[in-house]
Structure 1
Amino acid sequence: MAISEDNHSLINEFVLIGFSGEPYQNVCLFFVFLIVYIVSLLGNIGIIYLVCNNIKFHTPMYFFLSNLSVIDVVYASDIAPKMLVGLYFSKTTISYLGCAIQLFIFCALGSNECILFAIMAYDRYVAICNPLHYNLTMQKKTCLALMLGVYSTGLIHSLIETSCTFHLSFCSSNILYHFVCDFPPLLSISCTDTTINEIVLFVFSSSVTTPCIVLIIGSYMSIFVTILKITAPEGRQKAYSTCASHMIAVTLLYSTVLYVYLAPKSPSSRNNVNMATVFYTVVLPMLNPLIYSLRNKDIKLAIIQLFQSKL
């Protein structure tokens, strides 16, 4: 602890207490999430490798999928290592600067993923509802501009929210009952008024998520209407298959995120909220490549050919 000139204690590190279970339970969770993290890295790096090294995957859909894998690799790596240390030792410390960096990356990549899912939904909308204009609409320069917008928006959004959060004073406690530096636990231990921060957090988070949700819902409503007009069973099945993976990933992400930030905050629900956060920050990055690859014949064939070429 460092003492300031006005005799208020200022915190220079935080103690992360992610799970309040028995030590042996935390050790079991440690090995489970270590495997999840390793599989997440292998799966997402594999998707990136396949897309970059196979000209068949040089299309907008796979370009966005490879960017999702890049986000998931960094996302999981921002959270999992510190979480694993905390599980193994029941708690861990993180410096003030380290907490700010972790929160910045956590917020930026979370925003990036939400926006990217919306763009992927729009890509499917154009492919199914306006197939004759697909190549004209989703040109390479358009895809690059969209991804630039994704990363820029996430960085700006995170910079504003992280700056506002760490502009507060933390002097009453340095214990975060979480395995990651997140906004709610940080605001809860601040010894200054957090009303403005809560408003800023709500406004900027809503400004990112609400348009994404509207675009996703609007895209899939149009897609379903178009699919119903398809008379050939093969064509309808292909359209469903194209969208199913993305719909599963979107549902898993938004359902857990909404639970984490809308669930009543109480000591009894703390572990449930922490597990839900683990799901969308560590488990979902592992599931995304599995969801997209297991339902995609081209990716499964490319993986088989890759392994055969290495034997």
Structure 2
Amino acid sequence: MTLKNKNRIFLFLFISSAVIFLFNTALLFIAAASKSIVPPTSPMRPFVLIPRGNLCAYNFNSSLAAILLFSLSAPALSIIIFKGFEKTSSLEILFFSGFIVSCITESARIFLPLFGFWKTNSLSLIYIGRIVAAGRFLAPMSLFFAAVFSSEEELQNAERNIFVLLASTCAFGFFYPMDTTITTSTCTVLWGFRKFFAAIRVFIVIVTVFSVLAEAYSKGIKEIYTKALGLGILSAGYGLLCNTDCWLEFIAAVALYIPGSMIYLKTIHYLENTWN
């Protein structure tokens, strides 16, 4: 893929994600003004940071804040990469576009509480659930592809690898079972084999981090260890932000997600400039 096409991809991601963020924000304000925001009744909490005590008491507004942060981070990351990597044809950054797309898919969750949409139990709930599930599979897979398929030997296979990444993600989202009768505290519908889905994502992240560590050890470059650290912090922040339904969890997620993103991207930028 040419440098020009790569820049066009991230410019397109910035424009489209910025429009989606503005649309989501406007829709949220309209629903709030008309008092049409209907939180799910007795939602299931998929994950609790601290199971006992009141530190992690459920708060619906924290879930909305997490969704908006995802929606905002997509254009922010896109413009940072567009400006910072404008003259760099890095395959790692190209695969990272999949992670940005996964952030965009998280914004689909905002439709469930608006106008009591979660009460409809319609096909639209299935579509939203599948979009979010596909995005949550795409995020770790994008980071995995960035770590494993970003060498110079894979340069000629970039388009093929991107196609495999997107095709597998779409297939996963289309076929994965959904249960629209149960709404979660994070404004999603419940997925089948929930623990299995979570285990698969964690496993992919662990394999990705160890792949980067193995590369750092074999090449003897300490900056790659820093990239592994940033990758781990980013993944932890992303996972917490996906499951945020209380303010403590939101604060912890932000404290990991933003620094992790910056460490990961800055390290890639440094390594690209050093090698090139």
Q: TM-score range by the shorter chain?
A: 0.5 to 0.7
Aligned equivalents of 2:195, 2:188: Cα separation in 1: 17
Quote the offset at 1:45 in angstroms: 1.2
Amino acid at match of 1:78: A
Aligned equivalents of 1:81, 1:300: Cα separation in 2: 36
Runs of 4 or more, structure 1, over 6 Å off, are 298-301
**Aligned sequence identity (%):** 9
Distance 1:284 1:176, change over 3 A: same
TM-score, normalization: structure 2? 0.56
Cα offsets for 1:240-267 (capped at 9, x unmatched): 222222212323455787xx7xxxxxxx
- The equivalent of 1:42 in structure 2 is 72
Cα offsets for 1:21-56 (capped at 9, x unmatched): xxxxx9x974x6666555443331132345467643
Q: Which 5+ residue runs of structure 2 have no aligned equivalent? A: 1-37, 44-56, 271-276
CA contact (8 A) 1:43 1:286 kept: no
User: Which of 41, 51, 65 is matched with 1:17 structurally?
Assistant: 41
The answer as to 2:106 corresponding to 1:135 is: no
Q: Based on CA coordinates, which of the two structures has the bigger radius of gyration?
A: 1
For the residue of structure 2 that corresponds to 1:17, the secondary structure is: coil
TM-score, normalization: structure 1? 0.51
For the residue of structure 1 that corresponds to 2:187, the secondary structure is: coil
CA contact (8 A) 2:74 2:100 kept: yes
CA contact (8 A) 1:44 1:286 kept: no
Cα offsets for 1:92-133 (capped at 9, x unmatched): 5634245x5245423442343234313422431455xxx453
Distance 1:15 1:274, change over 3 A: closer
User: Which of 143, 151, 169 is matched with 1:120 structurally?
Assistant: 143
For the residue of structure 1 that corresponds to 2:118, the secondary structure is: strand
User: Which of 247, 260, 264 is matched with 1:291 structurally?
Assistant: 260
CA contact (8 A) 1:121 1:216 kept: yes
For the residue of structure 2 that corresponds to 1:56, the secondary structure is: coil
For the residue of structure 2 that corresponds to 1:183, the secondary structure is: strand
Quote the offset at 1:79 in angstroms: 2.4
Quote the offset at 1:153 in angstroms: 1.8
Aligned-pair RMSD on alpha carbons?
A: 4.6
Structure with the larger RCO, 1 or 2 (CA within 8 Å, 6+ apart): 1
Q: Which 5+ residue runs of structure 1 have no aligned equivalent? A: 1-13, 20-25, 87-91, 185-200, 261-272, 302-311
